[in-house]
Structure 1
Amino acid sequence: MIKKYIVRLSDTEREELKAIVKKLKGSSQKVRRALILLKADTEGPGWTDAKIAEALACRIQTVENLRKRLVTEGFDTALHGKPRLSAPREKTLDGKQEAKVIALRLGKPPKGFASWSLRLLAVHVVELGIVDSISYETVRQTLKKTA
């Protein structure tokens, strides 16, 4: 199969990758990316994608994606990965609201129910006006903190 993205590393890039692999410097993802790039280098071993994937216990698509990222976006992006596009989401509930949800959970369930379910809690939190809207997953995460 003809490869569309050919990995050709400079001497400095190759030395940087070898240093990362030798010292296991950085995250495991970074070390794996370094290994993939070293093995895919045409002036180095020049392994096939399938052989790299088998040796490093990853998918062939992972190797192909890394080759593409190196050629299209550059060495640093290929090695370190892409930065996050968006910041982590803000918390839905503040401390007082969390306390009210926990207190509601510790109280008796409404008539006709044996116990509180996450969905039932989410509905009651909105009905009581604690928040405008909330998902049962947020209720679960809030209750899990206290368990």
Structure 2
Amino acid sequence: MEDVLAVYTRPRDPDYPLVCLDETSKQFLAETRLPIPMKRGRPARCDYEYERNTANIFMMFAPLEDWRHVKVTDRHTAVDYAHVLKELADRYFANAKTVVLVQGNLNIHGKGSLYEAFPAAEARRLVERFEWHYTPKHGSWLDLAESELGVLTSQCLDRRIADKQTLDEEIAAWERDRNANHTRASWQFSTPNARIKLKHLYPAI
């Protein structure tokens, strides 16, 4: 926990950008029968049957850059995760010396995922492009990308969405608006706060 909190106190450095990463899933609920439109004296009617599908959503959030990017994938696998890291390293932060990466400790959030997706030399190159930091077990709330996913969910995803194309379009519009307005994260929690409020988590000496 204190490792992540210390990372958050570092000043902005374009050579070492801070990027937080998290993911969630979204269920599609597509109509299987055409709804009956509203008529005078009768509300619109929708059949209770619907088709379920899911997609995975990766949130990349650089809080000191006022930047976020959301990538929608069909699955949530080590290979999908590895390609997200490659995009961060080679597309979005190609000029950075090292990307400071904060993420949860899921089983796919490791260097081994890069070796599953790419040849060894390429995987090693990508491993060395990152400085790896993990939130503790049951401490995913320390990942600022999780907070940004919460905003995305409440502002954009908290309703029925029928298919991946619609999801992509809605998320892209949300992302453009947040980035254009330079929307920032307001993080107030610090190591001194943790040592007081979470004292029970520390060993007694």
Max Rg structure:
1
Shorter-chain TM-score above 0.5? no
Q: Which has the higher helix share?
A: 1
TM-score (norm 2): 0.18
Q: Which has the higher strand share?
A: 2
